[in-house]
């Protein structure tokens, strides 16, 4: 029997952290664009505005919260998806059908979205803090400080503000990323034109990033608005109705920067994950 390497349960979280370090400025710009009440600046203009007002390092505001989010949200969804998938396919004649991958991705993403909600909320707040007037800024020094202050000042319920939206978004983006990546990689390898190498990983993850962006953008906009709110929304439906007043395209506000951020993040995550699996994975008999 041939040998192959499979991921350890925490590799997804580590790979996502590596990708987040590279794509955090794009994530910050996306949050700024989504929280505009009126479209005043585009992606390049927003980036220049941030640098001009607060300096280049302001593009990395909230990086600690972003890493904290990846080590909760992404670690959970990757651990569930890859562990269960490997168990189900062990000794099987072929790969799982796509609908099973999608269901498994949705379950893992929903759980990861819930677990990662507190860090995600602090991440959004820290990235958006510089846009607020000085008296209204929260000035969290790092992610743990933000989590503690939200818990102490606003209660545990506020930590999970927008949890339904974050979990739903997590389910969709995980289907788009993990399930579509596995399926795209399977199809690419099935052609016989490419082997299991870094170009195949790039191609499959690029396709997965595009699918994830398309699926989750409307929920991503609502999630960002809910997490950054100061009590102006009464719930998900109220937030959706208020956003709809700005026109249907408001749900896709920041689509280009979201794609520019999510596609490279997806590509880097899977390239890092495949390298971790190749050099540090568990050897099993295929």
Q: Residue 3's beta-bridge partner residues?
A: 285
Q: Which sequence spans correspond to the domains of the chain?
A: 3-285
Closest CA to 178 of 153, 203, 210, 205: 205
Q: Would you say residue 1 has pLDDT above 60?
A: no
- pLDDT score for 15: 97
Mean pLDDT, the chain, rounded, equals 87
Q: Would you say residue 42 has pLDDT above 80?
A: no
- pLDDT score for 38: 63
- pLDDT score for 118: 93
Domain 3-285 has CATH 1.50.40.10: yes
Angle at 255 between CA 252 and CA 258, to 5 degrees: 130
pLDDT in tens, 156-181: 888 998 788 789 889 999 999 999 99
Contact 206, 227 (CB under 8 A): no
Q: Would you say residue 248 has pLDDT above 90?
A: no
pLDDT in tens, 51-72: 888 888 888 888 888 899 999 9
Closest CA to 74 of 14, 24, 121, 34: 14
pLDDT in tens, 94-146: 788 999 999 999 999 999 999 999 998 888 888 778 777 888 888 888 889 99
């Amino acid at each position: 029997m041939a040998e192959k390497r499979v991921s350890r349960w925490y590799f997804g979280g580590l790979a996502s952290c590596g990708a987040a370090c590279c794509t955090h400025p794009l994530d910050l710009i996306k949050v700024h664009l989504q929280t505009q009440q009126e479209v005043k600046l585009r992606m390049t203009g927003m980036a220049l505005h941030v640098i001009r007002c607060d300096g280049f390092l302001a593009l990395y505001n909230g990086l600690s919260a972003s890493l904290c989010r990846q080590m909760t949200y992404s670690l959970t969804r990757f651990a569930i998806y890859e562990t269960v998938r490997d168990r189900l396919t062990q000794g099987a004649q072929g790969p799982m059908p796509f609908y099973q991958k999608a269901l498994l991705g949705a379950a893992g993403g929903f759980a990861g979205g819930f677990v990662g909600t507190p860090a995600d909320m602090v991440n959004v707040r820290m990235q958006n803090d510089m846009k607020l007037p000085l008296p209204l800024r929260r000035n969290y020094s790092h992610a743990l400080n933000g989590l503690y202050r939200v818990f102490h000042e606003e209660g545990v319920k506020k930590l999970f503000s927008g949890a339904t939206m974050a979990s739903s978004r997590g389910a969709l983006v995980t289907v788009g990323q993990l399930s579509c990546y596995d399926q795209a990689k399977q199809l690419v390898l099935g052609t016989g034109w490419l082997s299991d190498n870094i170009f195949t990983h790039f191609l499959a993850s690029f396709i997965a990033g595009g699918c994830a962006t398309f699926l989750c953008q409307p929920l991503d906009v609502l999630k960002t608005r809910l997490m950054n709110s100061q009590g102006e929304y009464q719930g998900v439906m109220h937030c959706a109705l208020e956003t709809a007043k700005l026109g249907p395209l408001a749900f896709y506000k920041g689509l280009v920067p979201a794609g520019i951020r999510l596609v490279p993040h997806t590509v880097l995550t899977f390239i890092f994950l495949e390298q971790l699996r190749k050099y540090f994975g568990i050897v099993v008999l295929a």
